[in-house]
Amino acid sequence: MAPGLQRTKNDCRYWHRLRRYRCYSGKHIPDIHILATDISSAALQVAKRNADKFNVEKQIEFIECDLLPDSDPRPLGLICANLPYIPTQTLHGLPVYGHEPTLALDGGVDGLDIYRRLFKLAPNWLAPKSMMLLEIESSQGVSARSLAHHTFGGATIHVHKDLAGQDRLLEICLP
């Protein structure tokens, strides 16, 4: 198998486990409340079907919105997001371009535009000692970490590698 295909396969396994964990966490932590947001109503419908499948639909509040709701912020212990992170120029050269919703993939010039927007909103939503887990594109480790340090000065910030050894997950732990 070509190295690029193996990396994609490994990345999918890694994120499939994380997505399953989010559903299972509702099942194994009975008093947890999950706020699930997406700008796409179709994506929310898929998430609702998954919640029903795992019998956790009563623990998850689904809201169609851009990043976080316009309502009064409530303290969240964890923000876990798979935001659009592919740089626009890179996206236009990928086979997926034109076959998948651009809104779900295009992260702007450097791939971090949506992260900047989330980082402006998140401090009002995050509780003390909370965490953010954000998927990143493999070339964004240094710039994503720098952006996080600039926004969350006192936080502990790590970039974790995927199963193929590529930067893939930005972890931000607030004091």
Cα dihedral sign for 70, 140, 78, 55?
A: positive
Q: What is the pLDDT of residue 12?
A: 41
- pLDDT beyond 50 at 173: yes
CA angle 112, 147, 6 (to 5 degrees): 55
Q: Provide the pLDDT confidence category of residue 122 given band limits of 50, 70 and 90.
A: very high
CB distance 92 to 118 below 8 Å: no
By DSSP bridging, strand 126-135 and strand 76-81 are parallel
Q: What is the pLDDT of residues 63-89, one digit of tens each?
A: 999 999 988 888 999 999 999 999 999
Q: What is the mean pLDDT of the chain?
A: 84
Confidence (pLDDT) at 100: 87
Class of domain 3-173: alpha beta
**Per-residue pLDDT at 59:** 87
What is the three-class DSSP state of 69? coil
The pTM for the full model equals 0.80
5 has pLDDT over 60: no
Check residue 8 and give its pLDDT: 36
